[in-house]
């Protein structure tokens, strides 16, 4: 990068109100988020320092679907930036009294909420919400659609080890059909130049992804030796009832990442899992605890990435972050 | 009372007539087509199309039950404004139209408005429960022209067989909303590239096609008249084309949105582009247009489905299915079929005049001496912008909001009386 380009990059910010999905981010914006996350991670893990970027601003966690780790991660990130954080739980909100989503959000806006972090069980709800409110909307996972901060933290976790995602072979394994983590992951890794391969039983692997030119396979063993990264998705046990796979036992046989399967991988393969893990189902104990697995690292990185997203969305630049660190 | 429509381009899809002429009307009946005769009132239609009043085989006017969405009187006004003189109302109201009193009520409300002929369709099963066939004879006598459980499929194949058999007594069509619920599997939009990327559950073409395949086979067995409603997929066109070749008594309709839009618009319009069956792919859209060209698809029906905006302003998965269709129908037929795909006016307008008239067996939809003077005058070159001012309907749920289209309805005439003038 020339000096001028670097200066330009240093003063870049995310010129958008919301973060709804990965497809609306450019390659450069993603790198920028990664670079900001690097700084935040160092400060977060090594000191107790709080940044002032969200001081006096209210961040509302609107979690219509239950979540523990994503909600905590956003909350810690917002607090590390000095925000006031409030939570709306679906069971205690007026949504259960039949208030529409728009009306709930209008109420939040009337209370001067600057950011709404939304988790919702149906696809495109944050997209719909963002068109009807002034606050920044960050998608914390919607239906089967998108989970952009998860994809960013997954990408960042690989990026900080390899320095680039270009040319990497990344497998996403499991229930692709019902996974927002998979959809956002596909978009992020593809955009950053990785080669994505999807793996799972045909009932959980929609053919339509091939229309986007993405490689798909039912045979996990055949791809293992080629992989740089393997991202194991959580399998939801209730899917079995819908005849999407016949039994956990049979699912394990073909798609579980076991010690034996790990041996077929390259030594430096990175094993990821968005959590929470079903130990012994999609991933066995040995693999979950081995050196290749970066599952806890992902959790730490989640906070750094979310701090970066908050800061960049409210107009801060890398320069600002470096100045305050 | 004599009325003369002068110097318009008179089109009669049934006979293929297409010439500049005057239409002379006396006491609500078409008297002659040719030279102008002396009249009490004349309308200058120079440069405009003069067509039989349009017939829509598929509208939802919501009364009784959801008068906040639309009433029969309100629906009549919108239909007249849109160039229609006759419509078939669907029976999935609350309560559903499954007894003579309700059929008569609907006809009475339409007569009171004086703006539109309504030919009600009645429920094919009692209470639309899909269990027992309705009293078709009584309902037919009261004025029902077809039977359907539209809004949902007749899932029971034996009920479909019995309905197609029994209806032969009255020579009325069974109109079928074709959908295999198990294959729909709580899908929200078309299953394909768009549903894969948006993570919305998909409805495969197969959900529509397997039911159509079943019903054309049952129609062959029972020798009844099957009319397949709102077909959206290319495969459906192929199944019906094939059944017609084999001599099955089957007709079908599509809706303007299926030849105008694809599921790609869901990304931008969200719930405003949600309907059932869903918008499909470009490949399906092209095959629907081919079906219209080669006559496989007999009719264009709007599936006019008013929903309040606050019902549509919800998460897409929770929002109801359906869009309004009457007001955008003429502009879409002219813009998408005539201008973009080169169909002739007579080819296109046959689908909303003589063909639907034949399906429900009414002596309408033609400009011919002795026929009711139901006529529409259209300016095909005049641009309309679909916006809040243009949409007079109580409900504004249309994905075409903002579109600029060709084709403006200038005047609608029902039995010799003007029911709408731009």
Name chain A contacts of B199, Cβ cutoff 8 Å.
123, 142-146, 180, 183
Q: Are strands B84-89 and B117-118 parallel, antiparallel or unpaired?
A: parallel
To the nearest whole angstrom, how far is the Cα of A127 from the nearest Cα of chain B? 9
Name chain B contacts of A128, Cβ cutoff 8 Å.
270-271, 313-316
Are B313 and A145 in contact (CB < 8 Å)?
A: no
Are B198 and A123 in contact (CB < 8 Å)?
A: yes
Are B313 and A102 in contact (CB < 8 Å)?
A: yes
Collapsing DSSP to helix, strand or coil, A7 comes out as helix
CB A138 within 8 A of CB A313: yes
CATH code for the domain of B403: 2.30.40.10
- For residue B200, what is the nearest residue in chain A, using CA coordinates? A123
Name chain B contacts of A20, Cβ cutoff 8 Å.
none
* Pair (B128, B234) in one structural domain: yes
* Pair (B311, B203) in one structural domain: yes
Chain B contact for A102 (CB, 8 A cutoff): yes
- The answer to whether residue B120 is domain-embedded is yes
To the nearest whole angstrom, how far is the Cα of A128 from the nearest Cα of chain B? 7
Are A183 and B316 in contact (CB < 8 Å)?
A: no
* Pair (B69, B184) in one structural domain: yes
Chain B contact for A101 (CB, 8 A cutoff): yes
- The answer to whether residue B368 is domain-embedded is no
* Pair (B288, B391) in one structural domain: no
pLDDT at residue number A6: 55
* Pair (B65, B35) in one structural domain: no
pLDDT at A97 over 70: no
* Pair (B266, B384) in one structural domain: no
* Pair (B33, B176) in one structural domain: no
Whole-number Cα distances in Å, A156 to A8, A46, A246, B65: 22, 18, 35, 55
pLDDT at residue number A94: 62
To the nearest whole angstrom, how far is the Cα of B234 from the nearest Cα of chain A? 17
* Pair (B198, B141) in one structural domain: yes
Are A211 and B198 in contact (CB < 8 Å)?
A: no
CB B92 within 8 A of CB B65: no
To the nearest whole angstrom, how far is the Cα of B418 from the nearest Cα of chain A? 42
- The answer to whether residue B371 is domain-embedded is no
- The answer to whether residue B72 is domain-embedded is yes
Query: Which of A120, A124, A209 is facing B198, going by the closest CB pair?
Result: A124
B283 is catalytic: no
**Which two tokens mark A203?**
């009932």
Domain that holds residue B86: 53-362
Chain A contact for B263 (CB, 8 A cutoff): no
- The answer to whether residue B369 is domain-embedded is no
Chain A contact for B237 (CB, 8 A cutoff): no
Kindly name the residue from B298, B303, B372, B374 that is annotated as catalytic. Answer: B303
What ipTM is given for this predicted complex?
Answer: 0.82
Are A212 and B196 in contact (CB < 8 Å)?
A: yes
Chain B contact for A100 (CB, 8 A cutoff): yes
> How many domains does chain B fold into?
2
pTM of the model: 0.90
* Pair (B297, B352) in one structural domain: yes
Are B196 and A100 in contact (CB < 8 Å)?
A: no
* Pair (B75, B187) in one structural domain: yes
- The answer to whether residue B304 is domain-embedded is yes
Last residue of a domain, one of B332, B362, B392: B362
State the Cα–Cα distance between residues B17 and B345, nearest whole angstrom: 11
H/E segment holding residue A140: strand A136-142
Band of pLDDT at residue A248, cut at 50, 70 and 90: confident
CATH code for the domain of B349: 3.20.20.140
Are B199 and A142 in contact (CB < 8 Å)?
A: yes
- The answer to whether residue B201 is domain-embedded is yes
To the nearest whole angstrom, how far is the Cα of A251 from the nearest Cα of chain B? 23
pLDDT at A2 over 50: no
Are B315 and A180 in contact (CB < 8 Å)?
A: no
Last residue of a domain, one of B317, B332, B362: B362
- The answer to whether residue B101 is domain-embedded is yes
pLDDT at residue number A5: 55
- For residue A125, what is the nearest residue in chain B, using CA coordinates? B315
Chain B contact for A206 (CB, 8 A cutoff): yes
Among A147, A208, A210, A233, most B C-beta atoms within 10 A, so best to mutate, is A208
Among B193, B274, B313, B315, most A C-beta atoms within 10 A, so best to mutate, is B315
Among B189, B192, B196, most A C-beta atoms within 10 A, so best to mutate, is B196
Are B199 and A211 in contact (CB < 8 Å)?
A: no
Give long-range contacts, CB 8 A cutoff, 24+ apart: B402-407: B403/B328, B405/B328, B405/B331, B405/B332, B405/B334, B405/B335, B406/B331, B406/B334, B406/B335, B406/B339, B406/B380, B406/B381, B406/B382, B407/B330, B407/B331, B407/B333, B407/B334, B407/B335, B407/B378, B407/B379, B407/B380, B407/B382
Are B270 and A143 in contact (CB < 8 Å)?
A: no
* Pair (B167, B271) in one structural domain: yes
Q: Looking at residue B125, what DSSP letter applies?
A: B
DSSP string, A292-324: TB-HHHHHHHHHHHHHHHHHHHTT--HHHHHHH
Instruction: Kindly give the confidence (pLDDT) of every residue in chain B, 422 residues in length, as a single tens digit, with 9 standing for 90 and above.
Output: 999 999 999 999 999 999 999 999 999 999 999 999 999 999 999 999 999 999 999 999 999 999 999 999 999 999 999 999 999 999 999 999 999 999 999 999 999 999 999 999 999 999 999 999 999 999 999 999 999 999 999 999 999 999 999 999 999 999 999 999 999 999 999 999 999 999 999 999 999 999 999 999 999 999 999 999 999 999 999 999 999 999 999 999 999 999 999 999 999 999 999 999 999 999 999 999 999 999 999 999 999 999 999 999 999 999 999 999 999 999 999 999 999 999 999 999 999 999 999 999 999 999 999 999 999 999 999 999 999 999 999 899 999 999 999 999 999 999 999 999 99
* Pair (B37, B58) in one structural domain: no
To the nearest whole angstrom, how far is the Cα of A243 from the nearest Cα of chain B? 12
Indicate the range of A140-154, A233-247, A278-292, B47-61 predicted with least confidence. A233-247
- Region of B63 (left: φ > 0; alpha: ψ -120 to 50; beta: rest) is beta
């Amino acid at each position: 990068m020339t000096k001028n380009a670097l200066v330009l990059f240093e003063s870049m910010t995310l010129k958008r109100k919301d973060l709804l999905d990965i497809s609306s981010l450019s390659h450069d914006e993603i790198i920028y988020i990664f670079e900001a996350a690097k700084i935040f991670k160092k400060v977060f893990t090594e000191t107790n320092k709080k940044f002032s970027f969200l001081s006096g601003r209210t961040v509302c966690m609107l979690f219509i679907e239950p979540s523990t780790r994503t909600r905590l991660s956003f909350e810690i990130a917002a607090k590390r930036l000095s925000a006031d954080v409030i939570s709306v739980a679906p069971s205690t909100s007026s949504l259960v009294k039949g208030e529409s989503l728009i009306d709930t959000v209008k109420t939040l806006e009337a209370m001067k909420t600057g950011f709404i972090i939304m988790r919702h069980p149906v696809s495109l709800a944050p997209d719909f919400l963002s068109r009807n409110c002034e606050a920044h909307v960050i998608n914390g996972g919607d239906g089967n659609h998108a989970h952009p901060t998860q994809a960013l933290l997954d990408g960042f976790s690989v990026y900080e080890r390899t320095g680039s995602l270009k040319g990497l072979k990344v497998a996403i394994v499991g229930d692709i059909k019902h996974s927002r983590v998979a959809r956002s992951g596909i978009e992020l890794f593809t955009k950053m130049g990785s080669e994505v391969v999807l793996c799972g039983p045909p009932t959980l692997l929609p053919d339509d992804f091939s229309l986007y030119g993405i490689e798909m396979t039912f045979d996990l063993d055949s791809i293992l030796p080629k992989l740089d990264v393997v991202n194991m998705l959580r399998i939801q046990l209730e899917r079995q009832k819908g005849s999407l796979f016949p039994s956990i036992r049979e699912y394990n046989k073909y798609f579980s990442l076991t010690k034996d399967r790990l041996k077929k991988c390259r030594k430096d393969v990175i094993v990821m899992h968005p959590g929470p893990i079903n130990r012994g189902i999609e991933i066995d104990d040995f693999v979950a605890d081995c050196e290749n697995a970066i599952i806890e690292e992902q959790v730490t990185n989640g906070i750094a990435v979310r701090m970066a997203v908050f800061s960049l969305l409210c107009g801060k630049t890398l320069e600002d972050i470096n100045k305050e660190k | 009372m004599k009325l003369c429509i002068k110097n318009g381009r008179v089109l009669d899809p049934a006979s293929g007539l297409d010439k500049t002429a005057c239409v002379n009307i006396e006491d609500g009946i078409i008297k002659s087509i040719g030279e102008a005769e002396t009249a009490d009132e004349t309308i200058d239609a120079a440069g405009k199309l003069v067509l039989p009043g349009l017939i829509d085989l598929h509208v939802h006017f919501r009364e009784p039950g959801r008068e906040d969405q639309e009433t029969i009187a309100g629906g009549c006004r919108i239909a007249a404004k849109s160039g229609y003189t006759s419509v078939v109302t669907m029976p999935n109201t609350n309560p559903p139209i499954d007894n003579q009193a309700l059929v008569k009520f609907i006809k009475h409300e339409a007569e009171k408005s004086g703006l539109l002929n309504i030919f009600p369709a009645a429920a094919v099963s009692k209470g639309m429960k899909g269990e027992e066939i309705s009293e078709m004879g009584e309902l037919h006598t009261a004025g029902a022209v077809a039977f359907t459980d539209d809004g949902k499929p007749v899932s029971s194949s034996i009920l479909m067989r019995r309905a197609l058999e029994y209806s032969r007594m009255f020579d009325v069509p069974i109109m079928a909303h074709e959908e295999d619920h198990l294959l729909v599997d709580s899908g929200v939009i078309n299953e394909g590239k768009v549903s894969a990327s948006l993570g919305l559950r998909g409805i495969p073409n197969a959900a529509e096609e397997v039911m159509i395949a079943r019903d054309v086979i049952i129609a062959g067995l029972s020798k009844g008249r099957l009319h397949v409603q709102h077909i959206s997929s290319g495969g459906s066109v192929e199944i019906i084309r094939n059944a017609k070749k084999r001599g099955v008594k089957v007709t079908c309709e599509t809706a303007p949105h299926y030849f105008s839009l694809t599921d790609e618009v869901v990304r931008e319009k969200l719930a405003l582009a949600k309907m059932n069956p869903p918008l499909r792919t470009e490949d399906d859209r092209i095959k629907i247009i081919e079906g219209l060209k080669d006559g496989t698809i007999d009719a264009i029906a709007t599936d006019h489905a008013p929903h309040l905006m606050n019902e549509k302003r919800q998460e897409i998965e929770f929002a109801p299915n359906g869009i309004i269709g009457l007001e955008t129908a003429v502009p879409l037929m002219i813009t998408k079929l005539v201008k973009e795909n080169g169909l002739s006016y007579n080819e296109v307008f046959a689908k909303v005049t003589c063909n639907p008239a034949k399906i429900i067996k009414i002596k309408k939809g033609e400009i011919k001496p002795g026929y009711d003077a139901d006529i529409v005058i259209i300016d095909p070159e005049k641009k309309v912008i679909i916006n809040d001012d243009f949409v007079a309907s109580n409900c504004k749920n249309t994905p075409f909001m903002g579109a600029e289209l060709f084709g403006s309805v200038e005047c609608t005439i029902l039995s010799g009386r003007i029911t709408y003038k731009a």
